[in-house]
Amino acid sequence: MALHVLTFYGYLPFNNSDPTNPNEAYFELVDWTVDLAASYGILV
């Protein structure tokens, strides 16, 4: 799993590489992306 790869916006999925400490900014972007896809009828 690529936990150390930054997104285009510079986010990592977890703070300090700790899966029990999610990065809110990362998952807000994931939520936005999934919602946008759904608005176009795309299932992600």
Query: Which pLDDT does position 4 carry in this prediction?
Result: 84
Question: Cα torsion at 7, 1, 32, 10 (round to 10°)?
Answer: -20
pTM of the model: 0.80
Per-position pLDDT tens, the chain of length 44: 567 889 999 999 999 989 999 999 999 999 999 999 999 999 99
The DSSP H or E segment spanning 24 is: helix 24-39
